[in-house]
Amino acid sequence: MRIYEGSPRQDWEEVLRSVGAYLDERGMRGLVFVDTDSGFIVQGTCVSNAPGSTWGESMGLLTCETLKIDDDQIGTFMDTALARRGTTPDTTPRHYEDQLRVIGRFFDEKKPRDLFFFEIDGAYVARLTSSGQGGLKQELVEFTPDDLADMIARAPALRRAETQAKPS
């Protein structure tokens, strides 16, 4: 999606938070997330309650879903998420919305040109590609469940500090 190279979206934190809210609504788990020139490809596992399932499938049928999410859809997700915030109590689980938001904040600090990440057992491994004077540089980053919990806990204080630091 080339966030820092001409895309109207310039904020990984808000983009990933909004996409995360959409994925939470779908009940998707076990993500593989690939950045493309026009958006993202997201693959994950969903549980569906298929009619006529047998006793062994009573907990639901696991299906692998692949989503192609373009910039227009991301804009819609962002508008929907923004409109939802602060209105009525939200009962939708916020698993990915919270986790992807803080991961996006980390990406905003690094400003990668390209990214790929996947989730396994509640942890994420990300490959960030950045360009510099020496050409392309790739970096691997891991976010453990404890890292994510700490980042989520610190997020409100960071937002308050940013709000106070902005000139009026």
Residue 59 structural domain? 12-165
Q: How many domains does the chain have?
A: 1
List the alpha helices (DSSP H) in 59-168: 71-84, 95-110, 145-165
- pTM for the complete prediction? 0.82
HSE-CB for 41 with a 13 A CA cutoff: 6
**Residue 29 forms part of a structural domain:** yes
Assess contact for 46 and 27: CB atoms under 8 A.
yes
pLDDT in tens, 138-153: 999 999 999 999 999 9
> Among the ranges 22-26, 48-52, 125-129, which has the highest mean pLDDT value?
125-129
**Residue 99 forms part of a structural domain:** yes
**Residue 84 forms part of a structural domain:** yes
Residue 99 binned pLDDT confidence (cut-offs 50, 70, 90) = very high
Among 25, 21, 65, which residue's Cα sits nearest to residue 45? 65
pLDDT in tens, 37-85: 888 999 999 877 666 555 555 567 889 999 999 988 988 988 888 888 7
**Residue 67 forms part of a structural domain:** yes
